[in-house]
Structure 1
Amino acid sequence: MVSIIVPVYNAAPYLNQCVDSLTNQTLKEIEIILINDGSTDDSLAVCMALAATDDRIRLIDKPNGGVSEARNDGLRAATGEYVGFVDPDDWVDEDMYEHMLATLTAAQADICMCNYVKEAKEGTVPVLMKHSGGTIEKEAILDEIVANVIAKPSFRSGETDIMGSVCRLLISRELLERGNIWFDKEVAFMEDLLVCVEAFLKCERVAIDAGAYYHYRVHESSTVMAYKSKFYQRQKQAFAKLQELLVREGKAAALAPRMANRCIIIALLALANEAHKDNPTPFREKIRNIDAIVADEELAATLEKIELDNVEPRKKLELNLMKKKASVRLYLYYSVFNKIKAALGKG
């Protein structure tokens, strides 16, 4: 019934917990596809040992090609009626896929979405959507899901977005095949978000399961925590791909306000990335990189249009510094901000 795709790259310490949570699913009619993406640690040996214990585990060993191509290889190999994705350093509740399949089939939906739990060394935090359950159809999918996956409605306090991760979804394989939906191997960041948006735009009905089944591990080597080289350029590339997708699907105008917010969010994340403690770049080059970010014409045009009256104080400070192109002050601000976040364990 369900094919669960796990792209594996240098995840040996976490694989047993991840795969055990899948082999112990209360839904037994599953296949687990492990794609070893050219790991240089013991991941392949761990995968082989795990595959020997359960004939529902299929192992694909390939040269390193990135997470997008690994997931595509998993999709090509999948035989299940529905597809789920799990990252190798995460794990899921043992009844996740039984519940999600029941929710999806009862609603006759193409996609089921659940909540997730953020697992950090400081503690466990459930991250819940505003929807407590039910189904969302057609135009409401655009307003209530796609828009919030792209960006939160505003920069006011209390506004939230929806994390665009395929790992919280159960998707009809027929929808993926009919829509010709694949992960873009040219995109280094936001590849999840692109697939989520395209799948939501091409489906008729989404079922919401209120359960928080997926456990997302945050650790020092997590993508969200680590310093990323050429982050802004890669995010801008993904942003352009997202814009192309919205134009192709005829939704660019409807989602223009959220894309404007995402443009600003990308810049804010890029500024924090430049001030990351692990950034090896010399100080002057960091400032030049920040200069380039705040000089971006699309960003400047977006900042000019934003209404700051109701923006929370911290965000207002950040946006005003960006408007003024105050690169050194931005660097100092984010250097302090990153240290505070690390001290509080918020990652």
Structure 2
Amino acid sequence: MKLSILIAMYNTEKYIGNCLESLINQDIKVEDYEIIVINDGSTDNSVSVVESYIKRNKNIVLYNQSNIGITQTSNKLLKLAKGKYLYKIDSDDYIAHNTLGTLLKIAEKSNLDALGFNSCKTTRLDLHKLDTEIISEDLKICTGVEYWSKSNNPKSSANWYLIKNDFIIKNNITFELEDNPMSDTPFTFQLFIAIERFVFLSNVIHRYVQVPTSGSNNRNANHLRKRILKRKALINKLRAISVKLENKDKSKYIGIINSLKFWSDVNVYFLFQKFLYVNISIGDIIKIRKELEQIKAYPMISFTGDQSFSKKHKLITSFLNHKYLFFVGLYPLRMLVKLKLLKLSFR
């Protein structure tokens, strides 16, 4: 088995068919790859959709389980995989047709630990064609640390690279954050710290579908409270990885350390924004802020410099960083959000 595609599925009946459709329209023999789907307790018709594809495609396998969350499900997928290389994709996303075989040949020929490629955000479900040809000659092989040092804060999700299965096992890399939809982030950093042979292709292979009903867009108060705690757990993990690298060899890992700080700030930014959407007391906010200060994750100092950051972003960041101004403006801003007179990017 050359490739295992790993999918954790939960209530994505509108999208899982499109995901599977993209995965079976590939330039690779059916017997050379498997598509493993774990249904994590879906309550919609997702299972029926997958079963209809299984009838027509012998390389798709479905496992059903009670809901245990994305982290444990992702680790179960890793254990089930038989392929030489792995690719993890969300059940509401998809990839360009006829690309996996080419990517796999490049990875095998160069004996890569991982192979990366670009992703694009979209609301469309029909971007099947690859825009540019995949060039497999004169590839620049580097370590994960080298790649991170020369890149501008690459994506922290796990859907933009293939990984060698033996490499994962050898380095004992797993998804660590318990039941956390952002567990991809520390997984990716741990991966790239260890990678010795990596190639990045500029081709846009992955389509990141923007789903209005996804967890990141959910405004329910209880959901937001849980999301705040999960972001805090992620921030703690990122800071722990950063401290470990600083103590080990700061000069060697400086690119990854700086990116860890950047992504920590990103999560602090969206954590604080959620205080405007949910009625959390001043006392609880102060407690969370002090916890972040203790691990040097607040105030935000690294969430700057990108050309996409607008004046509005800089203004909001300064406001969130100001200990007293934030509390003065908290209740008026909550009212503006409630009246839908203030809209912020939401994740």
TM-score range, shorter chain: 0.7 to 0.9
Pick from 277, 293, 296 the counterpart of residue 297 of structure 1.
293
Two-structure CA RMSD over aligned residues (Å): 3.5
Pick from 40, 43, 46 the counterpart of residue 43 of structure 1.
46
Match of 2:274 in 1: 273
- Contact conserved, 1:4 with 1:83, CA < 8 A, in 2? yes
**Aligned in 2, Cα 1:98/1:239: closer, same or farther, shift over 3 Å?**
same
Match of 2:131 in 1: none
- Contact conserved, 1:31 with 1:80, CA < 8 A, in 2? yes
1:318 aligns with 2:319: no
Pick from 228, 232, 252 the counterpart of residue 232 of structure 1.
228
Structure 2: runs of 5+ lacking an equivalent: 128-134
Instruction: Provide, for residues 170-211 of structure 1, a one-character-per-residue CA deviation record: whole Å limited to 9, x for no partner.
Output: 100011010111112515142111111111111102111221
Match of 1:144 in 2: 150
Q: Which range moved further: 99-108 or 12-21?
A: 99-108
**Following the alignment from structure 1 to structure 2, what is the Cα–Cα distance between the partners of residues 307 and 221?**
27
Pick from 59, 67, 74 the counterpart of residue 70 of structure 2.
67
**Aligned in 2, Cα 1:328/1:222: closer, same or farther, shift over 3 Å?**
farther
Match of 2:22 in 1: 21
**Following the alignment from structure 1 to structure 2, what is the Cα–Cα distance between the partners of residues 313 and 84?**
38
1:220 aligns with 2:193: no
**Aligned in 2, Cα 1:256/1:199: closer, same or farther, shift over 3 Å?**
closer
Q: Which range moved further: 232-241 or 7-16?
A: 232-241
CA shift at 1:43, angstroms? 1.6
**Following the alignment from structure 1 to structure 2, what is the Cα–Cα distance between the partners of residues 16 and 317?**
42
Instruction: Look up the SS of the partner of 1:114 in the other structure.
Output: strand
Instruction: Look up the SS of the partner of 2:299 in the other structure.
Output: helix
Residues matched between the structures, number: 318
Instruction: Provide, for residues 50-92 of structure 1, a one-character-per-residue CA deviation record: whole Å limited to 9, x for no partner.
Output: 2121110111111111112222222111111100011111111
Describe how 1:187-202 pairs up with structure 2 within 5 A.
188-202=180-194
Match of 1:128 in 2: none
TM-score relative to the length of structure 1: 0.78
Match of 1:172 in 2: 164
Structure 1: runs of 5+ lacking an equivalent: 125-131, 149-160
**Following the alignment from structure 1 to structure 2, what is the Cα–Cα distance between the partners of residues 88 and 303?**
35
- Contact conserved, 2:27 with 2:102, CA < 8 A, in 1? no
- Contact conserved, 1:12 with 1:42, CA < 8 A, in 2? yes
**Aligned in 2, Cα 1:302/1:39: closer, same or farther, shift over 3 Å?**
closer
**Aligned in 2, Cα 1:32/1:79: closer, same or farther, shift over 3 Å?**
same
**Following the alignment from structure 1 to structure 2, what is the Cα–Cα distance between the partners of residues 96 and 57?**
18
- Contact conserved, 2:72 with 2:178, CA < 8 A, in 1? no
Q: Which range moved further: 111-120 or 329-338?
A: 329-338
CA shift at 1:291, angstroms? 4.5
CA shift at 1:232, angstroms? 3.1
**Following the alignment from structure 1 to structure 2, what is the Cα–Cα distance between the partners of residues 90 and 220?**
13
TM-score relative to the length of structure 2: 0.78
Percent identity, please: 23
